[in-house]
Amino acid sequence: MAAGTSGAKAPGKIEIVINGVEASVPRGVYLLQALRDNGVAVPTLCHHKDLTPSGVCRLCVVEVEEGGRRRMVTSCT
Ligand code: FES
C-alpha cells in the first residue's frame, strides 16, 4: 500500500494518491482515517478512538511517498 500527496485543490482538503488512485481528504485527518474513508482496510492493534495515538504496535505501517522520497510511517499517528 502506498500513499502520497499530489497537491491541494479544495479549501480544507488535501489531494493524495492512495494505491495509484487520487483522493480528496480533510486536511489534518490521520492517514489511517483517510485510508479507511477511501475503502482501504488497514489493520490496527493499539489504535482506539478513545485513546491518544501512540504508534507502538506498528501494525498500521504504510509506505508514503512525498517529494520523491519514500518512507514507512504509522498511519495512526
Ligand atoms: S495501530 Fe498500532 S501503531 Fe498504528
The pLDDT tens digits for 37-65 are 999 999 999 999 899 989 999 999 999 99
Domain span holding position 65: 2-74
The pLDDT assigned to 50 comes to 93
Residue among 47, 50, 64 to mutate when testing ligand 1 (max atoms within 8 A of CB): 47
Name the amino acid, one letter, at 55: G
How many angstroms from the chain centroid is the CA of residue 39?
Answer: 12
Instruction: Give the total number of structural domains in the chain.
Output: 1
Residue 19 and residue 17: Cα distance in Å, rounded? 6
Residue 51 grid cell:
485513546
Mutate to test the pocket of ligand 1, among 50, 51, 74 (most ligand atoms within 8 A of CB): 74
Q: List all residues whose CB is within 6 A of at least one atom of ligand 1.
A: 44-47, 55-60, 74, 76
Put simply, whether the predicted model's pTM sits higher than 0.95 gets the answer no
Atom of ligand 1 at shortest distance to CA of 46? 2
